[in-house]
Amino acid sequence: MDQSGATEWSVFTDPDVGLLVRFPLRTPTGALVDRAFDPVPAWRLHLASDDGAVYVEAMLLRDLTPRVEYLRHLPYLLERFSPDAVSRPTATRSARTRSAGLPRRRTAGAPH
């Protein structure tokens, strides 16, 4: 999203997880961006706007492999968004794991 279209931006950061997300408080159409954060039982950040311009979901999976979580969550995603809107999991690495030289892998399978 082009930052010039929004007047106010917010930052969510969690150094323990190694995440920093900058997001608009409103989309260019004026829709509010809702932020939900649940650190327990599973770390989860969810950002969404009613107009669909913003949708971000980040999760930290403890004692559960990303593939198992993806397969468990896939039926809900397909029903909620449609098969064409859900991507296959892809490996990602946070800046923290790169800088520490750790081989940790995370996957993301989210609506796009």
- Determine the longest span between alpha carbons in the chain, in angstroms: 42
d(C-alpha 15, C-alpha 79), whole Å? 34
Mean pLDDT of 63-80: 85
Strands (E), the chain: 9-14, 19-24, 33-38, 43-49, 55-60, 90-92, 106-108
pTM, full prediction: 0.57
Average pLDDT over residues 47-59: 91
Task: Work out the mean pLDDT of the chain and round it to a whole number.
Answer: 78
What whole-number percentage of the chain has pLDDT above 90?
A: 30
